[in-house]
A and B are shown apart, each in its own frame.
Chain A
Amino acid sequence: MKLLLLVFKNLLRNKLRSALTVLAVIVLVAIFSLIATVLLTMERAMRERARDVPVVLSERYRFPSRFDRRFVEDIVSPGTAVHTQLRYLPGFNREHHTIWHFIGFTTDPERKDKNKQFFVIATYPEKIPAMFDELDQLDPVLLEKMKRPPKSGLDNSGILMGPDRMERLGLRVGDVFKAISISHFEGVTRQPIEMQLEIVGTLPAGSRWVQHTFMDYAYLDRVLKEKKSEMDGKIMLGWLKFDDSDSAGKGSAVIETHISDIKSEIASTAISRFLEPYKNLFNGVKYLLVPAIWLVMTLIVANAISITVRERTTEMAVLKVLGFRPPQILALVLGEAVLLGTLGGLFGAGGTYFLVNHVIGGINFPIGFFPIFFVPAHALWWGPALGALTSVLGGIIPAWSARSVRVSEVFARVA
């Protein structure tokens, strides 16, 4: 403990140098966190699973996808040709399906303030936990409230909103408000569709859903029909979930054979296809930029620690005279480096997490399925860990030279 105090006091000896080193690590860890956020999120999405494999259904010839809901209904309805074939696949379960219909809204009556805009996924509430990651623990009471919201009394008008999105819109659970569509219009008047929504609960904090909103498709379907919208009966994506990847592959082939307008892909494959044009860019970032950032970080720490060791060679010799063993001196010097790196990493990653997720509202980098990226919560530990590891690498050579100080030579020079 006392030696830790010595490490800390040594860092305060030259406050400006320590502060600048920490600042450099902060900046580099922040850049690293941003890049890692994008790369890791995409890699995770592209990684094919062995079990519970999601399959995404989209319109084959049009982007963004839009197709009739009945295609999905055919797939899961007993008696249809496609279902008849699918039902023999061991990993197929007709209950494991859902639909997504995207609709953009704003709470601004003028429809001008971009900060008031939000996108909603209209889907089947009861399917949410089974079909999507990080939502399997969702309270069934909330799903029931989506159908029967307690305040407004308007059937199916309950929504679940991510906490970050809710904060950005200045809304709270229990709020009932009018949402004006920015993407859907009435069929005759071409007026924006208006809907009354009630927030009945939040999506899990810290999950990838913190900016998302779910509504009951039944409500949207009712309104679109009533307003004679061209979007009536349409959906953007359908989802199936197979027990294993083999069934998912075979099931996709069956679907595409029977419904030629539909592209059926394992989700990770679909995402990979979207990202194919960016592959070289990502590889460049991953294999050149990231190592370069790490190298620069290591050199900055190495430089700062080298200077401090050179300035204190006599002190190192004194410590040896007092009985400090070489490994203890090595640990003292590395301790200084690690403290600097860990602090820089903590502030770098923590600051990035806070700024990106809570102030800016995500990294706006629209690629494929990823309109926006959020720094994952685990950056809060890997940021400091990266800083500490880099500091050990950067500090090891100066620390080694400190431990190898020859006492008699140092004092011969001093005298």
Chain B
Amino acid sequence: MAEPIVRVVGVHKFFTRGSEQIDVLNDLNLEVAPGEFLGLMGPSGSGKTTLLNLIAGLDKPSQGEVWVGNQLISAMSESQLTRWRTRNIGFIFQFYHLLPVLTAYENVELPLLLLPMSAAERRRQVTTALELVGLEDRMKHRPGQLSGGQQQRVGIARAIVTDPTLIVADEPTGDLDARSAEEILDLLSELHQTLHKTIILVTHDPRAARRAQRLVHLEKGQLVEDGRPAAAVADGSGRPGTSGAITEVPPR
């Protein structure tokens, strides 16, 4: 087995509301292999997004460690994390979150403005990213002039433009109609297969889950199932099969 690119070790995360402590993640362990397409499923409030935020360096665990590559990101300061995210994380949001005043091209270019590179280099990378998502003819359009599916493509281009170590997607099809959702999932699968990107996808959508190589299921802040997605989708429960296959990085 290859050295995991993501290691979540004994993570505990709680929030406090007044004097009340709300446990979101309990003693959670997870490993993700390089180039893996991992689906994270679970009911609302199960801690999926919190786990995703911890892996993406948007939040810190109350206890435990989060490693990405060979870096212990849970020990990084806020500003170290911000710098780290620029190069290592591509984030795809459910509601796209493009800046409405910028064109598709400018939205994709935004993360590159923080990196030391020439304008020509930046132009080349933005153009490549937009070509990869099939929007080279929409570069000058603003988000308001694009469909939901197209906006999400721009969001994906923005996520991959820095060639990050890890792509994390939080319900990327949650705001799309069925057809657009399929297109986005096709695109993610393609990125995974052709560029061998490591993708972690949080979803409620069985169609999205079907695209993942491996599904993990969270419930009440704990990893309850970890396995191949086929059975999960087949029984419509959104859960992986109950074969007991709590493993294990899938074949590459």
A407 B94 Cβ-Cβ under 8 A: no
Q: How many pairs of A and B residues are in contact by the CB < 8 Å rule?
A: 68
* Contact pattern, A 391-415, Cβ under 8 Å of B = 1, otherwise 0: 0000000000000000110011011
* Contact pattern, B 38-77, Cβ under 8 Å of A = 1, otherwise 0: 0000000000011001001011000000000000000000
B86 A6 Cβ-Cβ under 8 A: no
| Minimum C-beta distance from A112 to chain B (A) | 58
B99 A315 Cβ-Cβ under 8 A: yes
Known A323-B83, A408-B58: A3·B101 in contact at CB below 8 Å: no
| Minimum C-beta distance from B2 to chain A (A) | 27
Residues of B86-144 contacting chain A, CB below 8 A: 86-87, 89, 91, 93-95, 97, 99-102, 106, 109-111, 113-114
Q: What class of interface size applies to chain A in its complex with B?
A: 20 to 34
Q: Which residues of B contact A315 (CB under 8 A)?
A: 97, 99
For B109, the closest partner residue in chain A by CB is: A2
Q: Which of A10, A12, A322, A407 has the most CB atoms of chain B within a 10 A radius of its CB?
A: A322
Q: Which residues of A contact B99 (CB under 8 A)?
A: 6, 315, 318
* Contact pattern, A 1-37, Cβ under 8 Å of B = 1, otherwise 0: 0110010011011000000000000000000000000
B78 contacts chain A at the CB level, 8 A cutoff: yes
B19 contacts chain A at the CB level, 8 A cutoff: no
Q: Which of A13, A320, A407, A412 has the most CB atoms of chain B within a 10 A radius of its CB?
A: A407
A323 B82 Cβ-Cβ under 8 A: yes
Q: Which residues of A contact B53 (CB under 8 A)?
A: 407-408, 411
A325 contacts chain B at the CB level, 8 A cutoff: yes
Chain B interface, number of residues (Cβ within 8 angstroms): 32
B12 contacts chain A at the CB level, 8 A cutoff: no
- Give the distance in Å from the alpha carbon of A3 to the alpha carbon of B101 in the complex: 12
A318 B97 Cβ-Cβ under 8 A: yes
B85 contacts chain A at the CB level, 8 A cutoff: yes
Q: Which residues of A contact B158 (CB under 8 A)?
A: 322
| Minimum C-beta distance from B162 to chain A (A) | 8
Q: Which of A9, A407, A408 contacts B102 (CB 8 A)?
A: A9
B79 A13 Cβ-Cβ under 8 A: no
For A414, the closest partner residue in chain B by CB is: B95
| Minimum C-beta distance from A6 to chain B (A) | 7
Q: Which of B59, B79, B100 contacts A407 (CB 8 A)?
A: B59
A13 B111 Cβ-Cβ under 8 A: no
A326 contacts chain B at the CB level, 8 A cutoff: yes
- Give the distance in Å from the alpha carbon of A13 to the alpha carbon of B93 in the complex: 22
B101 A6 Cβ-Cβ under 8 A: yes
For A314, the closest partner residue in chain B by CB is: B97
| Minimum C-beta distance from B76 to chain A (A) | 13
A324 contacts chain B at the CB level, 8 A cutoff: yes
Q: Which residues of A contact B59 (CB under 8 A)?
A: 407-408
- Give the distance in Å from the alpha carbon of A220 to the alpha carbon of B109 in the complex: 75
- Give the distance in Å from the alpha carbon of A324 to the alpha carbon of B170 in the complex: 20
* Contact pattern, A 313-332, Cβ under 8 Å of B = 1, otherwise 0: 01100111111111010000
- Give the distance in Å from the alpha carbon of A385 to the alpha carbon of B109 in the complex: 33
B85 A321 Cβ-Cβ under 8 A: yes
For B113, the closest partner residue in chain A by CB is: A2
Q: Which residues of B contact A323 (CB under 8 A)?
A: 82-83, 85-87, 111, 114
Q: Which residues of A contact B78 (CB under 8 A)?
A: 326
Known A10-B101, A318-B93, A408-B59: A326·B79 in contact at CB below 8 Å: yes
Q: Which residues of B contact A412 (CB under 8 A)?
A: 49
Q: Which of A12, A325, A408, A411 contacts B101 (CB 8 A)?
A: A12
Residues of B139-175 contacting chain A, CB below 8 A: 158, 170-171
| Minimum C-beta distance from A321 to chain B (A) | 5
| Minimum C-beta distance from B154 to chain A (A) | 13
Q: Which residues of A contact B111 (CB under 8 A)?
A: 322-323
- Give the distance in Å from the alpha carbon of A217 to the alpha carbon of B158 in the complex: 79
Q: Which residues of B contact A9 (CB under 8 A)?
A: 101-102
* Contact pattern, A 206-240, Cβ under 8 Å of B = 1, otherwise 0: 00000000000000000000000000000000000
- Give the distance in Å from the alpha carbon of A2 to the alpha carbon of B117 in the complex: 13
B110 A322 Cβ-Cβ under 8 A: yes
Q: Which residues of A contact B102 (CB under 8 A)?
A: 6, 9
Known A315-B99, A326-B78, A412-B49: A321·B58 in contact at CB below 8 Å: yes
| Minimum C-beta distance from B197 to chain A (A) | 17
Q: Which residues of A contact B50 (CB under 8 A)?
A: 408
- Give the distance in Å from the alpha carbon of A192 to the alpha carbon of B53 in the complex: 91
Chain B contacts to A: CB under 8 angstroms: 49-50, 53, 56, 58-59, 78-79, 82-83, 85-87, 89, 91, 93-95, 97, 99-102, 106, 109-111, 113-114, 158, 170-171
Chain A contacts to B: CB under 8 angstroms: 2-3, 6, 9-10, 12-13, 314-315, 318-326, 328, 407-408, 411-412, 414-415
9 A–B contact pairs at CB < 8 A? A6-B99, A6-B101, A314-B97, A318-B93, A323-B86, A323-B111, A325-B79, A325-B83, A411-B170
A-B complex: 5 closest residue pairs judged by Cβ atoms:
A323-B86, A9-B101, A408-B59, A318-B97, A322-B111
